[in-house]
Amino acid sequence: MKRPQLRIGAVLLALVGGLLGAALNAGPASADEYPNVRDVAVPASGKVTCFGYTGTFRARTTVALVDWKSSNDECFGITPDRTVWHTFPNAGGWQRMGGTRPAGAVASGLFRENPLTGAKVAVVADGAVFYCQNYRRPVGWTDIWYRCND
């Protein structure tokens, strides 16, 4: 009669161990999410207003209005000279993002964030190549664009 009890105990121990192992292996990366993003079509004039600030962007592209969960909302767009600009409430206007990556479009469906740490990733495209820039608290945007679809 002791053998069935030992088997039940061994099965329970294995189940609990498996559950604990899964919980410990679920690191911060599993908390990454895609924020809500609304694409605003850039008209032929190129003029788009976001948070009260008007900028001039590449016609027939979009400006991405990103609803970050961990901080203020933010808009991203590509200007006619193919540089990436962004703005947010109380920013004082549109600001050029650091780094020298030319871009053709904002890849708004690929933006990510980790609401637990406040880490964010902005993504732009140049043809079929995607480039990312990271945001880390308390520093902010890193000013480094890196190829992120390899």
Residue 26 pLDDT more than 90? no
State mean pLDDT over 45-52: 98
> When comparing pLDDT for 54 and 4, which is higher?
54
Confidence band of 5 (pLDDT split at 50, 70, 90): very low
Contact call for residues 50 and 90 (beta carbons, < 8 A): no
- pLDDT tens digits, residue range 96-130? 999 878 899 999 889 999 988 888 999 999 888 99
- Rounded Cα distance between 87 and 95, Å, is 6
d(CA 136, CA 120): 7
In 3D space, the residue among 137, 118, 140 whose CA is nearest the CA of residue 70 turns out to be 118
pLDDT of residue 85 exceeding 70:
yes
Identify the band that residue 6 occupies on the pLDDT scale cut at 50, 70 and 90: very low
* Structural element, H or E, at residue 63: strand 62-67
Please provide the average confidence, as pLDDT, over all residues in the chain: 81
Structure tokens at 115: 């609401």
* Pair 132, 84: CB distance under 8 Å: no
| Residue 86 pLDDT greater than 60, yes or no | yes
Radius of gyration of the chain from Cα atoms?
22
Could you tell me what percent of the chain has a pLDDT over 70? 79
Q: How many CB atoms lie within 10 A of CB 71?
A: 13
Q: Which whole number is the average pLDDT over 46-74?
A: 95
